[in-house]
A and B are shown apart, each in its own frame.
Chain A
């Protein structure tokens, strides 16, 4: 079990009052707060190790490079990957863009199909939409069932179209559905398709093993797991590097740039994964990211998942009992993660969020970058409560009481 009251002491921001009330922060699917250990590590990096990484002879640069590269090793361990399979980017969105351009441009053509699900985040759909305008391939979306699962019949039907690549979220950032990633990936592979797993809502909460899942590409970000903002991770299964081209060009991603006898530039790329990390990266963010991983691993991902799932399930059950509230996603606690999206009849999601904010409760309202999913549900927006390690059952009670007053 998590000792939540002790954990809360590590998060200075939780001492804030918002509109005269104790802050109840339940917008963790958008970003999480940072423990003092991470905040101090950022300060320490700038105070002691700040320098640009790679190819610096001086001591500071070598120390900064060691921290940067050891972060790659720690992130690889977190998901059971090899360090060279880890590319650092600025966020998960850039990660999907990297795959869409670096793999999509050389491999997708007219006649090809890319499959998404209706529960995909815009960040997986839109990069391929942009690349499709250059390459002429088509995108198709897999439906969902009324109770918030991927429609497996539709999935199988669309796999028969022989898509080249399939994207889906491990955990839906709106429905809370925990998808059976292993099964979905296996099915895609049987039809010859590669898979991009959007793990932004799963890696912060549960142990994710890329080898066990046999996934081809996976993205997630540091800031949703107590780490700094501006750090995203792309996992690329080693064998796919040979069919990819660089995404962004510039410094660090090259071994040599010169010119030939015709005065044409010549370029030799660096080795992977640095070949995909052009220019100065978020050095401090990446170097400090392991502090947040260490913090969460000490708590145990098993306990984290259990804790947030219980908070969300208690919320889900309580809201379902209230009149005029519609709650979305699976009805089985086993298949739900740590968030609850809902609407209150007679109020927009934004009114609900503003009402809760006036009581110190921070929730998100809007389409949560899942426009197609909201359209499928027949709504334009929803309010979303999403929990993390520092949330308490007293907070659940406080939120439910506030919503009870709203609907009465």
Chain B
């Protein structure tokens, strides 16, 4: 599956130019949930609801409905490259 097949929406966040929201398609989320959460460094659980950590130098919050917020992203290209890796997407 390509990244496009796996993602429901991908949006730069209003006001925070280096922040992106990514929503995974439900089947992708069900399949990759454990892997995504397990890939985070310095992982912590927040309010028993979501996980926060670092992936390849980027801050990531992983929410239980398959939404991911990426903060301090150096560039959109970089985010796409790490998403490809995190989701095992084919090019």
- Which A residues are within 8 Å of any B CB, using their own CB? 19, 347-351, 354-355, 357-359, 365-367, 371, 374, 380-382, 402, 405-406, 408
Q: Are A350 and B49 in contact, with the CB atoms below 8 A?
A: no
Does chain A have a CB within 8 A of B81? no
Q: Count residues on chain B whose CB falls below 8 Å from chain A CBs.
A: 20
Other A-B contacts than A349-B15, A359-B49, 12 sampled, CB-CB below 8 A, are: A19-B65, A347-B61, A351-B61, A354-B63, A354-B69, A355-B47, A358-B50, A358-B63, A365-B14, A367-B15, A381-B13, A405-B49
Return chain A residues, CB-CB under 8 Å to B67: 354, 357-358
* A366 → chain B closest CB, angstroms: 3
Q: Are B14 and A366 in contact, with the CB atoms below 8 A?
A: yes
Does chain A have a CB within 8 A of B16? yes
CA–CA, A246 and B6, complex, Å: 48
Q: Are A380 and B65 in contact, with the CB atoms below 8 A?
A: no
Q: Are A381 and B14 in contact, with the CB atoms below 8 A?
A: yes
Return chain B residues, CB-CB under 8 Å to A347: 61
Given A348-B71, A355-B50, A406-B47, answer yes or no on A366-B64 (Cβ-Cβ < 8 Å).
no
Per DSSP, chain B at the interface is: strand
* A206 → chain B closest CB, angstroms: 28
Can you name 5 A-B residue pairings with CB atoms under 8 Å? A19-B64, A354-B69, A355-B61, A355-B63, A358-B63
Q: A348 contacts which of B46, B64, B69 (Cβ < 8 Å)? A: B69
Return chain A residues, CB-CB under 8 Å to B65: 19, 357-358
CA–CA, A43 and B46, complex, Å: 45
CA–CA, A381 and B67, complex, Å: 19
Q: Are B47 and A350 in contact, with the CB atoms below 8 A?
A: no
CA–CA, A143 and B1, complex, Å: 52
- Which B residues are within 8 Å of any A CB, using their own CB? 13-17, 19, 21, 46-50, 52, 61, 63-65, 67, 69, 71
Return chain B residues, CB-CB under 8 Å to A371: 15
Residue of B nearest to A408 (CB): B47
Return chain A residues, CB-CB under 8 Å to B61: 347, 351, 354-355
CA–CA, A405 and B49, complex, Å: 10
Residue of B nearest to A379 (CB): B15
CA–CA, A371 and B87, complex, Å: 34
* A369 → chain B closest CB, angstroms: 9
Return chain A residues, CB-CB under 8 Å to B46: 355, 406
Return chain B residues, CB-CB under 8 Å to A349: 15-16
Q: Are A366 and B48 in contact, with the CB atoms below 8 A?
A: no
CA–CA, A351 and B48, complex, Å: 14
Q: B15 contacts which of A366, A402, A405, A408 (Cβ < 8 Å)? A: A366
Q: Are B50 and A367 in contact, with the CB atoms below 8 A?
A: no
* B76 → chain A closest CB, angstroms: 16
Given A19-B65, A350-B21, A358-B63, answer yes or no on A405-B14 (Cβ-Cβ < 8 Å).
no
CA–CA, A405 and B65, complex, Å: 18
* A370 → chain B closest CB, angstroms: 10
* B46 → chain A closest CB, angstroms: 7
Return chain A residues, CB-CB under 8 Å to B69: 348, 350-351, 354
Return chain B residues, CB-CB under 8 Å to A357: 63, 65, 67
Return chain A residues, CB-CB under 8 Å to B71: 348, 351
Counting chain A CB atoms within 10 Å of each CB, the highest count among B46, B50, B69 belongs to: B69
CA–CA, A358 and B50, complex, Å: 9
Return chain A residues, CB-CB under 8 Å to B14: 365-367, 381
CA–CA, A104 and B49, complex, Å: 51
* 10 A-B pairs closest in CB distance: A366-B14, A381-B15, A367-B15, A405-B47, A366-B15, A350-B13, A380-B15, A19-B65, A358-B63, A406-B47
Q: Are A381 and B49 in contact, with the CB atoms below 8 A?
A: no
